[in-house]
Amino acid sequence: MSRTLPTLYKAPAQALGAATAGLKWARGDKLFSPSQGSLAAMRSGVANRGTEQRLGALGFVADPSMSFREIMGRVIGTKGPGARVLFTEGTYHFKEIANLTVARNGVEFIALSPGRTVFKRTTDGSLAGTRANLFVVTGTHFRMEGIRIEEPGNADYPSVSLAGGYASMVGCFFDTVYGAVTISSDYNLVTDCLIEDNTAASAIAITSGTGNVVTDNRVY
């Protein structure tokens, strides 16, 4: 049995941490299954396009060999409204990083391999009391889809702060976190997310704002 999400992909109804082999992606009325070979071709196809490294209207393709500072620099440097980043499978490491601010409107973080595209912040406690959210979104119409966030050792703040409004967190995974999402703005959507090993009182907290929708999420 599967659930059809109103977004770019269809996710299985099994535990979201399970293997996603055979997952198909939907855009309009077309389905396709990205393979590692096709993703490698996508990356090599844009590698010679200078600092933009974009793939037409599809978005900028990022892989774990890149630092997140570099990735965000490409987002800031793009022209026109919004910026879409397609993250390939793998682990993107954040060490003792706090408050990565997404201030641009219309930024999208999309996992090309939902559940296997991991943002991992490793903390050893040396910055306890000074750390904050991993992402603070102050721009409007932010979207995160299919990303897994892992924060072993974080006991301070939720992973994502939605402070800009009109954001969407869809089909994301949160593992070993102190709260997944906190909302302090209007008309945000958090849906079909899986939250495991949450140590905060509320996995998803709305502190202020109107018109927010939190639905079909699972907390274990």
> Ranked by mean pLDDT, which of 17-26, 94-103, 107-116, 154-163 comes out on top?
107-116
Domains and CATH numbers, the chain: 56-219 (2.160.20.10)
Structure confidence at residue 13 as a pLDDT band (50, 70, 90): very low
pLDDT score of 69: 80
pLDDT (tens digit per residue) in 113-164: 999 999 988 765 555 544 678 899 999 999 999 999 998 766 678 999 999 9
CB 174 within 8 A of CB 193: yes
Of 11 and 109, the one with more pLDDT: 109
pLDDT score of 126: 56
Cβ contacts of residue 104 below 8 Å, gap of 6+?
A: 75, 76, 82, 83, 139
- The one-letter amino acid code at 57 reads A
Of 51 and 176, the one with more pLDDT: 176
What six digits make up the tokens of 43? 């990356």
pLDDT score of 86: 94
Terminal C-alpha separation, the chain: 21
Kindly report the average pLDDT of the chain as a whole number. Answer: 75
What six digits make up the tokens of 85? 């980043």
pLDDT value at 171 more than 70: yes
What six digits make up the tokens of 131? 């750390």
Structure confidence at residue 107 as a pLDDT band (50, 70, 90): very high
CB 218 within 8 A of CB 195: yes
CA 82 from chain centre, in angstroms, equals: 15
| 186 phi and psi angles, rounded to 5 deg | -105, 150
**Closest listed residue to residue 171, CA positions, set 89, 220, 114:** 114
Least confident of 68-82, 177-191, 196-210: 68-82
**Distances from the Cα of 119 to the Cα of 37, 48, 134, 169, angstroms:** 22, 26, 10, 15
